[in-house]
Amino acid sequence: MAKPLRYDRHARRRMKWRKISEQEVEAVLAKPDIMEKAEHGGINALRRLGGRSIKVTYKDLGEEMLIISAVDKTD
């Protein structure tokens, strides 16, 4: 079973501004095209979804995943 997701306030704001849904965040985390280390021990997961390139930054806290940010990187 997948770990529960917890969204911090910054992530919620970014998602609202960029019109990124929780379902899109979950899809990126379930099957990322690219994963890379982020600052401060986080992980960046990137995936193309429906013509958009979405990057989700998160930390794995053991019991749960903390979503830090979500950005639409489409040019």
Q: What is the CATH number of the domain that holds 62?
A: 3.30.2310
pTM over 0.85: yes
**Cα–Cα distance measured from residue 44 to residue 37, given in angstroms and rounded to the nearest whole number:** 6
Residue 29 structure tokens: 């985390």
Answer for the pair 72, 52: CB distance below 8 angstroms, yes or no: yes
What contacts 42, CB < 8 A, 6 or more positions away?
Answer: 57, 58, 59, 68
Q: How many domains does the chain have?
A: 1
pLDDT (tens place) for every residue of the chain, 75 residues total: 579 999 999 999 999 999 999 999 999 999 999 999 998 889 999 999 989 999 999 999 999 999 999 999 987
Residue 38 structure tokens: 């982020």
What range does the domain containing 53 cover?
Answer: 5-72
